[in-house]
Amino acid sequence: MSSIAALNIPESYFSRTLPEEVQTVLDGIRYAHPEVKEAALISALKRWPEVLDIHISLYKFYFRCGRYAEAEWGAWKALSMAARQAGISHNYRRLHVHSTDWSTANEPARQFLFSLKALGVIRLRRQKLADAQRVLTKLMELDPNDEVGGGSYFQIAEKLIAVLSEMDD
């Protein structure tokens, strides 16, 4: 793991085993200009298409830039990759709390949950409230103790839908 320069705090990545070359690329673009960062992430994704951390970094990048359609596409790609690596269905609707061990940090199943949360948040930002609610409802089913922090976003989706419903009445 790398360190945050002056503080010597270990930098946390998403996977337990991140190839050193990938870690070097991700460390190197941390403070890069957005165009440089995007190009490096896309190049890294072409070079290491099976590394989930790159998929996650790319959708997070797009989200931070307000490029929500691309972030949603990236979240779907990360979900598909995480599902394949975890040996679970890529269709989140078919999953249940006993589909796999969701609790192990830094493992593909857990990264699936984080990416599912990201998909829900992205859909909230895109004002796809019903879609966000469906995703976040499934997340809460798979993560009933709210270990990945989707509960607050679920509540936001519920409240927005309720407010809009009241406005329609």
Its CATH class, for the domain covering 3-168, is mainly alpha
Assign 35 to helix, strand or coil.
helix
pLDDT score for 168:
79
Sequence spans of domains, the chain: 3-168
Q: What is the identity of the amino acid at 107?
A: E
Region at 88 (left for phi over 0; alpha for psi -120 to 50; beta for the rest): beta
What single-letter DSSP state applies at residue 92? G
pLDDT score for 13:
55
Over residues 24-33, the pLDDT tens digits come to 999 999 999 9
Smallest CA-to-CA distance from 101 within 90, 91, 115, 111 is with 111
Over residues 37-70, the pLDDT tens digits come to 999 999 999 999 999 999 999 999 999 999 999 9
Mean pLDDT of the chain: 91
pTM for this entry: 0.88
Residue length of the chain: 169
